Amino acid sequence: MAVPRTGLVAVALGIVYVVWGSTYLGIRVVVEDAPPMTSMGLRFATAGLLLGAFFAVRRGFKFLALTRRQVIGTAFLGLCLPLLGNGLVSVAEYKGATSGFSALLIAVAPLVIVIFRAIERDLPNTQTIVGVLLGFVGLALLVLLGRDAGDFELGPALIVLFAASCWAFGSYVQPRLWLPANPFVVAVWEMIFGGAMMVVLGLSVGETMTFDYPAKTWFALSYLVIFGSVVAFTAYVWLVANAPISLVATYAYVNPVIAVFLGWLILDEKITWPIVAGGAIVVAAVALVISSERRHPAPAAAAEPPVVEQVTKSLQTP
């Protein structure tokens, strides 16, 4: 492939930085009035159908065909990432977690992936271990001291942490799943299956969607569908194919910073010292882990790619 111009890489990276960082803000706006699980299910199902329709027109329906095993694989990915990952974040924000705080807690997902690797005896290098330990120190500051400072309640924080673990697990097992080779096909069905499951779950627990929500709710939901799930994801997949993956991976620790800033700027969310201190440590730890994994890749005989590739190729929008 021809080497892309630096400007195109910068634009695509900026889209991933800002748009994915802003999705936590968008979720917070939506769940102020709309039910969390059903609204986010509508988001992913609509985004998957839009992306699928585009490729069906351009490449034909055969391009989107799945085998029976691939149906199982993409549906499982939809369960782990859109439903348990994103869906539970929306529930936590519905219950009071701020957008910036949620983004900082979700940022620990790459660190959890390292733990999954260690469980399977794929032991990381020393720098990665230091990064993981540092990250959980930052997490403790966020959760324990942030709670004392009145930043949030413990319940929503635990929901986000569980969501981060599901997100990490889905990213970790993805190389082992029966999936189509094309990442866009994976994304289409992952979002459709995950969104459908979220809508069914939301309706089963008594959630209802109406057309009586304020204009800001529909605007935020439309933003999440079009920009958060379609535009930014397309930019992300293009980056994975055209830029060093170590550069693409930087979104994992830039997104939380963007989310905290936008939450403060637009929603007037408070930035207290536990959020600054704990958040800075978590972001630095993620950066340390990702940079370490790029310098010390996993052995060729390992069953999965290095953690940075598992994170950046998880195909999941926030």
Q: pLDDT by residue (tens digit) across 44-103?
A: 999 999 999 999 999 999 999 999 999 999 999 999 999 999 999 999 999 988 898 899
Write down the pLDDT at residue 10: 87
Dihedral pair phi/psi, residue 104, rounded to 5° = -70, -40
CA 19 to chain CA mean position, Å: 12
Looking at the domain assignment, is residue 318 inside a domain? no
Looking at the domain assignment, is residue 73 inside a domain? yes
Q: How far apart are CA 230 and CA 317, in angstroms?
A: 9
Higher pLDDT, 125 or 30: 30
Report the chain's C-alpha Rg in angstroms: 19
Mean pLDDT within 229-245: 84
Residue 267 has what DSSP assignment?
Answer: S
- The predicted model scores a pTM of 0.86
For residues 194-206, one letter each, b for 16 or more C-beta atoms within 10 angstroms of the residue's C-beta and e for the rest, the string is bbbbbbeebeeee
Looking at the domain assignment, is residue 1 inside a domain? no
Mean pLDDT within 282-286: 87
Dihedral-angle region of residue 121 (phi above 0 means left; psi in -120 to 50 means alpha; beta otherwise): left
Three-class SS state of 309: helix
Write down the pLDDT at residue 296: 55
Domain containing 144: what range?
A: 6-312
State which H helix or E strand residue 152 sits in. Answer: none
Burial class from Cβ neighbours inside 10 Å (0-12, 13-18, 19+) for residue 211 reads exposed
Looking at the domain assignment, is residue 142 inside a domain? yes
Whether the Cβ atoms of residue 131 and residue 288 lie closer than 8 Å to each other = yes
Looking at the domain assignment, is residue 107 inside a domain? yes
Q: How far apart are CA 290 and CA 304, in angstroms?
A: 16
Residue type, 211: F
Whether the Cβ atoms of residue 56 and residue 68 lie closer than 8 Å to each other = no
Number of domains in the chain: 1
Looking at the domain assignment, is residue 317 inside a domain? no
Closest CA to 316 of 183, 221, 140: 183
Write down the pLDDT at residue 266: 92
